[in-house]
Amino acid sequence: MDKKYIIAFDQGTTSTRAIIFDNNGTICGISQKELTQYYPQSGWVEHDPQEIFKHQKEVFEEVLSTSKISIDQIAGVGITNQRETTVVWDKTTGEPIHNAIVWLDKRTSNICKNLKSIGLEDYVAKNTGLVIDSYFSGTKLKWILDNVEGAREIAQKGDLLFGTIDTWLIWKFTNGSRHVTDHSNASRTMLYNIMRLEWDETMLKALDIPKNMLPEVQHSSSDFGSISYQEKEIPIYGVAGDQQASLFGQGGYKSGIAKNTYGTGCFLLLNTGKKAYHSKNGLLTTLCCSLPDDNIKYALEGSVFVGGASVQWLRDKLKVISKASETEEICISTPASKGLYVVPAFAGLGAPYWDMNAKGAIYGLTLDSGKNEIIKATVDALAYQTRDVLDAMVEDSGKLMRELKVDGGASANNYLMQFQADILNVEVDRPAMLEVTALGAAFLAGIKAGVWTKKDISKIRIVDTKFKPQITEHDRNRKYSGWKDAVERTKSTNA
């Protein structure tokens, strides 16, 4: 029987999914469960690692049974995951010693301050590609070792293991036989040297982390062990952090390709090829998905903290819409109001401004401004923020961008995609199948399993719409310079 199906596990911040793809990249089944969020204190966010594993196992079994595809036809599993989220567990009991500390969690900002005060900022940027921030796993792991009683002693004995969510899931699914991760996830820990491709001794020392806790790092498309199910073995052949997986799913294994995922935040990645560009504009340098017979490739990454979250704000706080999809019609039918800008700095301003103390603001209100005008200005802000990051990428890399590939929930909004093309003055390319993150993980597994070659990706990715810029240079400049003024006035230094 031909093995022609791949299962992608997509373990995200809010949900856990299993998706079956056939060898044309067509979805043959999806199963999904919501993940419980724990907020023990202001700024803290946790997940239960056992719930994550339980849900992943349940959706895997459910998608197999509902799709009626036989296990013998599954060529492999690809895992993609929320990145940076940190789990520490006891390898003898298999029990986590603390809830997973989620990437959004800010509890380690003092540890970050200390790292900065000992002058590590430059070292971190050059060797891990990151900025010193509680976003990444390193300080979260230190916090667990410092705050769970006896943890450091057990770790010194070699009985504690650290992992991001991919590592935890693989360890559980392989019954503790594999403690591994891939390049893309390792590059988000602040513990991995992305230039030398090894765990970084200086960072381990600075954070007092025993090296024996860390997983082995493999290529994203390689053998990560197998899942025993109904007396059969299903190999895990692909692993990648979700943003790098979606870049791969968009065909972004080639240098020069950029993608933007419009989720709660927006994550923009540009594959810069063999060269690691160190940003002068607050962007991150990170590892792309890696293939054993290919060069290691780097990406520049910029994140917008509040993307789709601002549309949730319209829905849940202002209560001016009842669902996000309503915004498309409202934006199309509402004439552009000159000079009205919503700057959604609800969590400060991210790249390229990095002003943690800025607060959100609305500028340019007149008696004509009603709820629809504010809705439209909020949607427009997603496009303006994307331009801010893309401009920084062009400046850092010296690469001219002709096209931006898009995915994620808000990319379904035709108004937003057209406005995005207009404001960027680049073509915006939306694929027909928007589950690009899961597809990227499936590709990684399918390449190792021999179902696809990497060249097949561009054949499988079908374009839905290419949005071409339609406004004049004069209009684009006028709109964007109004946005820049609004951002300037929002900065905490000008408040």
Residues forming the site for ligand G3P (CB under 6 A): 12-13, 82-84, 103, 241-243, 263-264
Measured distance CA(419)–CA(414) in Å, rounded: 9
Residue 333 β-bridge partners: none
**Residue 419: which residues within 8 A CB-CB, separation 6 or more?**
331, 379, 380, 383
**Residue 109: which residues within 8 A CB-CB, separation 6 or more?**
134
Closest approach, Cβ 33 to ligand G3P, in A, equals: 14
Q: Which is nearer to ligand G3P, 143 or 483 (CB)?
A: 143
Q: Which is nearer to ligand G3P, 104 or 331 (CB)?
A: 104
At 272, give phi and psi (nearest 5°): -105, 15
Q: Which is nearer to ligand G3P, 13 or 271 (CB)?
A: 13
Q: Which is nearer to ligand G3P, 163 or 263 (CB)?
A: 263
Closest approach, Cβ 107 to ligand G3P, in A, equals: 17
Report the SS3 class of residue 100: strand
Q: Which is nearer to ligand G3P, 282 or 364 (CB)?
A: 282
The enclosing H or E element of 288 equals none
Closest approach, Cβ 288 to ligand G3P, in A, equals: 14
Closest approach, Cβ 38 to ligand G3P, in A, equals: 16
Per the listing, tokens 């792991």 go with: 141
Measured distance CA(147)–CA(17) in Å, rounded: 32
Q: Which is nearer to ligand G3P, 134 or 337 (CB)?
A: 134
Query: What ranges make up the beta strands (E) of 87-225?
Result: 87-90, 100-101, 160-163, 180-182, 192-193, 198-199, 216-218
Token pair recorded at residue 338 = 């000159």
Q: Report the DSSP pairing between strands 27-34 and 46-47.
A: unpaired
Closest approach, Cβ 343 to ligand G3P, in A, equals: 22
Closest approach, Cβ 82 to ligand G3P, in A, equals: 4
Helix 308-316 vs helix 371-397: crossing angle, to nearest 10? 160
Q: Which is nearer to ligand G3P, 11 or 418 (CB)?
A: 11
Closest approach, Cβ 264 to ligand G3P, in A, equals: 6
Q: Which is nearer to ligand G3P, 251 or 263 (CB)?
A: 263
Nearest partner of 52 among 93, 14, 91, judged by Cα: 14
The DSSP output letter for 448 is H
Closest approach, Cβ 104 to ligand G3P, in A, equals: 8
Nearest partner of 343 among 487, 448, 214, judged by Cα: 487
Q: Which is nearer to ligand G3P, 134 or 490 (CB)?
A: 134
> Buried b / exposed e across 271-287, counting CB within 10 Å, b at 16+?
bbbeebbebebebbbbb
With left for phi above 0 and alpha for psi between -120 and 50, is residue 282 left, alpha or beta? left
Closest approach, Cβ 277 to ligand G3P, in A, equals: 19
Q: Which is nearer to ligand G3P, 261 or 378 (CB)?
A: 261
Closest approach, Cβ 15 to ligand G3P, in A, equals: 8
Residues in the chain: 495
Write down the H helix ranges in 341-472: 371-397, 414-424, 436-449, 456-460
Nearest partner of 291 among 237, 236, 233, judged by Cα: 237
